[in-house]
Structure formats: C-alpha cells, structure tokens
Amino acid sequence: MYIVSSCLLGYPCRYDARSCPFEFLTGKGIREFLIPVCPEVLGGLGIPRRPAEVRGGDGDDVLAGTARVLDISGRDVTEEYLKGAWISLGIALQSGAKAAILKARSPSCGPGSIYDGTFSRTLRPGDGVFAALLRRHGIEVYSEETAREVLGQLRRSSWS
C-alpha cells in the first residue's frame, strides 16, 4: 500500500479548492494500492483556505516546536498541521504503507523542498510537516516529480 496526497488523485482539497491530478497514478491495477490522505483537511482546515507556509524552518522544525505554520494572513495554523500529520501517519501505519507519494512543495506533504515562509514562491530545502513525520517513522517519501520509478515497480508487480 502507498499513501498518496489526495489532490494528486483528483480530489479538490488544495487550499484553492482545486486538485492537481497526476496521470501516472491512474490506470488499471494502480489505484487499488493507493490510500488518499489530505493532512490539512484531516487536521480541521477547510476547503478553500488561505495558503500557508512553514516559517522559521521546515517540517522537522515544526515537529520539534521551533518553527510554525502560518497562513498568508499571519494566522498560526501549526496545530491543525500537526493534528493532520499525526492522523495521516496513523492511517499510513495502520495500512502498512511502504511509501508515500506526496504533493511537491506543500507545507504538509512537500518532500525535499518547501516554500520558505515569505509567500514569495522561494523554495528552501526541507520536508513539509507530514513528510517529515513519515520519514521519522521509516516510511519512504516521494513527490509526484520523483515517484515514477516506484510507480513503475508498482505497475509491474500489480499486473503480474
């Protein structure tokens, strides 16, 4: 089983009430292995919602309590992000997920790089809150931009 950001499967749960479907995740024999989650919605944030970014670090720093997640109006939504990350981790662990395919650059899901907290579209190295939590629990994390190899393996194994 693989955890996948719900927006990548076409669910309109992004902050702007849109989705960003990733065509490689659709098709015969794949979807039955995918478990969609949206940590932001599971944490209690609505759709649509104001865009948010991690300020003062990355997802690991949010988990450590040294950085915060703020929306564009300055509202602190850290607790919602943490709650959603922990609920989503529970789903991942309960399902026995081997890996996660998450939305690039998201303050929740972004693996490897996220926006820097200035709302200027500037990237910084680091994971989003949920991606960092998954890594801490030994679950491999990919973005839709880096997941083709793992998805190719899934396609081959599910069709054989």
Cβ(144)–Cβ(34) under 8 Å?
no
Higher-scoring residue by pLDDT: 26, 54: 54
CA dihedral defined by 12, 13, 15, 20, rounded to 10 degrees? -50
Measured CA to CA, the distance from residue 140 to residue 155 in angstroms comes to 18
Measured CA to CA, the distance from residue 39 to residue 62 in angstroms comes to 14
DSSP 47: S
Measured CA to CA, the distance from residue 61 to residue 139 in angstroms comes to 18
Tell me what pLDDT residue 28 has: 63
| Sheet architecture: strand order including 34-37 | 34-37, 2-5, 99-102, 140-143
Question: H helices then E strands: how many in the chain?
Answer: 5, 8
Tell me what pLDDT residue 126 has: 98
pLDDT > 90 fraction of the chain, expressed in percent and rounded: 81
Tell me what pLDDT residue 160 has: 42
Residue pLDDT, tens place only, 80-103: 999 999 999 999 999 999 899 999
Residue pLDDT, tens place only, 100-159: 999 999 999 999 999 999 999 999 999 999 999 999 999 999 999 888 777 776 666 654
